[in-house]
Amino acid sequence: MSKTRKTFKYRLYPRRNQTVILEGQFGLCCELYNAGFPRFRARARYHSLSYPQLGFAIEGDHLKLSKVGLVKIKLHRPIEGQIKTLTVKREAGKWYACFSVEVESVPMAYCSENVGVDVGLTHFATLSDGSEIENPRHYRMAQSALRIAQRKVARRKKGSHGMLAKSVSDAGWSAFIAKLAYKAENAGRVLVKVDPRGTSQTCLCGASVPKTLSQRWHECSVCGLSAPRDHVSAQLILRLGLSLQAPRAAVAFA
Ligand SMILES: [Zn+2]
């Protein structure tokens, strides 16, 4: 079993005198910081303070902080795992306690289901079961990467759609793939990355169905399959992933 870090954040309700002490501690940190760096930094910039493991304890609905005392805390959900550090923060006038904890990641139960994932520009990801996933943050990243790539390609003039697609996937999806691989490992799942070349130009029956980048629909004249382009790609990706992997839970990804 591997270990992962999680953060649990709770509202703190310090009394007026406790607020003064906390602000004083922020100020002290500021002075110490200024000792190492000979330039002036505004005191107001320091809005968080980290406590070592011995500097705090939870006592009922209070958080005991060294030199501050018992501060009311709203534990709206239980803390899981082993607490490693505490950071007290002030954000927009509100006080928070952020506990960084270490948790054992428990592999999920065996699952015979497999899914193919096709990442694209129309939808952030299309799964082999036909569902489409939008992730606004990653999608925006991909979109801005696309704009940059388009400018580069426009400058080069002779740029191909292959080069464009590569720039986009490299810049926009690498963070997503890294996160997915990490999540899959923690959950005891297998992530298989496959070479997506040809998956948008082939039918499930094996026939070649050439499409330009703007053609979003797959229409096979051999077997009659008519479906969204990315959905067909995701199914081909799944097939590729399974062919590369021993028969157990696999996630094929391109
Ligand atoms: Zn076909």
CA of 218 to the centre of ligand 1 (A): 9
- DSSP assigned state of 45: G
- Give per-residue pLDDT as tens, 47-87: 788 888 888 999 999 999 988 999 999 999 888 888 989 99
CA of 98 to the centre of ligand 1 (A): 54
H or E element at residue 223: none
Edge to edge, the sheet with strand 132-133 lists: 132-133, 125-127, 115-119, 250-253, 190-193
67: left (phi over 0), alpha (psi -120 to 50) or beta: left
Domain boundaries, the chain: 3-104, 115-134+176-253
Dihedral sign computed on CA atoms, order 168, 170, 176, 181:
positive
CA of 203 to the centre of ligand 1 (A): 5
CA of 225 to the centre of ligand 1 (A): 5
Contact 116, 241 (CB under 8 A): yes
- Give per-residue pLDDT as tens, 2-57: 677 888 999 999 999 999 898 888 776 655 555 754 444 444 455 788 888 888 99
Residue 174 above 80 pLDDT?
no
| Closest-CA residue to 14 (of 57, 68, 55, 83) | 68
Q: What is the reported pTM? A: 0.52
CA of 242 to the centre of ligand 1 (A): 20
- Give per-residue pLDDT as tens, 73-130: 999 988 888 898 999 998 888 999 999 998 887 777 777 788 898 887 667 788 898 8
CA of 224 to the centre of ligand 1 (A): 6
Could you tell me the two tokens for 169?
A: 């996937």
The Cα 165–Cα 163 span in angstroms is 6
Strand pairing of 62-65 and 56-59?
antiparallel
CA of 253 to the centre of ligand 1 (A): 22
Given this model, what pLDDT does residue 29 score?
60
CA of 176 to the centre of ligand 1 (A): 31
CA of 83 to the centre of ligand 1 (A): 55
CA of 169 to the centre of ligand 1 (A): 27
